[in-house]
Structures are given as C-alpha cells and as structure tokens.
Amino acid sequence: MSAILGATIGPLVTYLLSILGLAIVAVYAIFRLNSTQIIREKVWSAFVGDKDFNDEKLKSSAHDQLDLTRFRVVYGVPARSISDLHRLLSWMDRCKFTPIDVKRARRWIDPSKDEPLEAPSQRYFITCAVALMIMIASFMFVSNKATGSKTTMLRMQVSKTWIWSDGASVESVLGKHWRIDAESCSKHTLPDTTITGLTDAETTAICNGIANGKLKAAVSDGLKYQSGSLLVISFFILFLGISVGLSLHFAMLARGLVRQLRSSEDGPSEQSLLPAKANPIEQ
C-alpha cells in the first residue's frame, strides 16, 4: 500500500534499544569504576603514549589510584583510599571473611568504617521482592505479545497518523476510538477524517488494501519487526529481573554475615560459663 509507510515501530524500537544498551553499559562501567580516571588515562596514553608521571610522588599517587580502581572493579567495594583497603583487609582477617563474602555483600560494606558491614533494611527486601514480581509479570506479558500478537502499529505517509491493524481492519491508537473495516468500507460508513486524522486518499488506500490483501501483507511485515523488538525488550526485562534477583540473594547473604558477626561477638552463652554440677552417681 503506497499510502502506508509500514510498521516503523519495530525498527524504531530496535534502534532506540541499541542506543539504550550502549548507554547502560557506559553508565554501569562508570558506576563500577566510581571514577572516569582510568578512562581518561587510556585516552591520554592512546594519543600521547606516556602514561606515567615523572615525579615520584605523583607516580606513587597514580599507582595508588589504579589499585583502588582495580579493587572497586573486582570487588565492587567503594574504597576511597589505601587506608580504607588496609582497614577492610584487617576486618576480613579478624572476622574470617573471604573475598567472595565481601564481593557478595559489597553493597552494604563501607570500608571507611571500623565495622564496615551493615545489615540490609527490611524496606530493601520488600522493594526487591515487589520489583522482582513486576519484572516476572512484565517478562511474561511482553513475551506473550512477541509470540502471540496479531496486531501491529502502522504509520501513514502523508498524515503521519499511527494506527493499529490486524490486516482486516484498522483502529485508532490515541484519542477518540474509531475503526475502519471491510463492512464500513462497503457501506460507506467510514469515520470522518477530522476524527481519524487521515486524508481521503489514505482512507481509500486502507479500504483498497483490506480488499486486495495489501494491508494484510503490510501487517505481516510489521509483525516480524514487532516480534523482534519485543523479544529484545523481553531480554532487557529478563536481564533486569536477574539483577534484582541476585540483589535480593546477596542481601540475604549479607544479613547472614551480620548475624554471624553478632553471634561471634556475643561469645559463649551464660549457660556454658556456669560451673558444671557434680554427677550424683559419682558421689
């Protein structure tokens, strides 16, 4: 159908999601590094070549910053100084915690404190649980639409009006509801162009497309793009759901570590400190 541009919503969404994916990767990298220093140093060494300072004090400081950046990337703990790292290592040795424990509980560890581990709040658990349920429901909804949807969005070339279509009829997307199908075309009971936003030529093209099957062909092509786009969206939702689920799991592990610390700090129970009673049989 010459008057229909096609299901441009599919390629448009795919294009936007590709940009969004790159943006998410960049934001996550900067968030995990907690600094753009290493990125600037890579740019400097790529264009200039020399990446070390000549001054020994500056060189030592730069190496310390690289150690901090490496630690933040590997373990995710936001250490701000070498002394924070030393304090954290001493605490790990005292509490018999492994680097894996620290990595899993990193969200609730502040190495600037003498007791860096804090218990996750109950509100955090509730928020993660609700978010996880929303992600699961969204994933199931989008996946179902990607595989079972029979309608897609089309845009007219002249009026730029968006319409829903299943190949046998078209309906409005926004505003007042209207519908064009084979019956309204044959009986000339078409909605007014002031309501649809379509031109007379576009309305005629839609009716002709319903009759000769060109509208159905346009919808079929659009559904292919739409399914691919929705599958990409479902992948993002699945990724976010896994992230939320892991966050909830790590929060439970962090709470377990806090309980382990408290039980070790309480020491032996009062019952174990009481003198043992003499055995009456021995007496």
DSSP letters for 106-131: GGGB-TTSSS-B-PPPHHHHHHHHHH
Structure pTM? 0.63
Sign of CA dihedral 157, 159, 160, 161: negative
- State mean pLDDT over 220-246: 86
Q: Between these two residues, 279 and 124, which has the higher pLDDT value?
A: 124
pLDDT at 52: 63
pLDDT at 276: 46
Least trusted range by pLDDT, from 51-55, 64-68, 107-111, 115-119: 51-55
pLDDT at 269: 46
Tell me: pLDDT of 128 over 90.
yes
5 — pLDDT class (breaks 50, 70, 90): very low
pLDDT at 224: 83
Tell me: pLDDT of 135 over 90.
yes
Least trusted range by pLDDT, from 22-36, 114-128, 159-173: 22-36
- State mean pLDDT over 235-258: 91
Average pLDDT of the chain is 79
Tell me: pLDDT of 282 over 50.
no
Q: How many Cβ atoms sit within 10 Å of the Cβ of residue 202? A: 22
- State mean pLDDT over 50-67: 70
Give the pair of three-digit tokens for residue 150.
């029979």
Residue 163 is given by DSSP the state E
Whole-angstrom distance, CA of residue 138 vs CA of residue 210: 33
Which tens digit of pLDDT belongs to each residue from 46-56? 655 565 666 67
Whole-angstrom distance, CA of residue 104 vs CA of residue 76: 9
Tell me: pLDDT of 204 over 80.
yes
| Inter-residue contact 160 to 154 (CB < 8 Å) | no
Least trusted range by pLDDT, from 87-96, 198-207, 260-269: 260-269
155 — pLDDT class (breaks 50, 70, 90): confident
